[in-house]
Amino acid sequence: MKTNIAKMRKSLKVLLPAIATKFLLRATHLCVNNAGIMFCPNQLSEDGVEIQFATNHLGHFFLTNLLLDKMKETASSTGIEGRIVNLSSLAHKYAYDTSSE
């Protein structure tokens, strides 16, 4: 399911009913967090958080927490543990070194 996780409040309000309809009524075994941005303009998300941090970290956190209870319920009822997969990249190697500032 596609969404803009940088717009956490708006996206999750829209995403919640869609997730409930599509996923939460069925067994949920897997959550793959695969969103990420790098070299983006210096700006804030609609929630007032730096856009890269909002996208790469907070969006994943909120989505995972949204699905966690259903994943636990699925594991309990099916005996099959779910998995949460967080993907990343090597783009951090190209970040500016601010340790001396």
pLDDT digit string, tens, across residues 6-39: 666 666 667 767 776 776 677 889 989 887 888 8
Beta bridge partners of 57: none
Matching residue, tokens 């927490």: 65
The pair of three-digit structure tokens given for residue 47, joined into one six-digit string: 């929630």
pLDDT confidence bin for 40, thresholds 50/70/90: confident
User: Average pLDDT for residues 56-63, to the nearest whole number?
Assistant: 85
Integer CA distances (angstroms), 33 to 24, 30, 78, 88, 96, in order: 17, 10, 23, 9, 25
CB 1 within 8 A of CB 35: no
pLDDT value of position 16? 65
Residue 42, both tokens = 């210096």
Average pLDDT, the chain: 80
Give the pTM.
Answer: 0.69
- The pair of structure tokens assigned to 22 is 């599509």
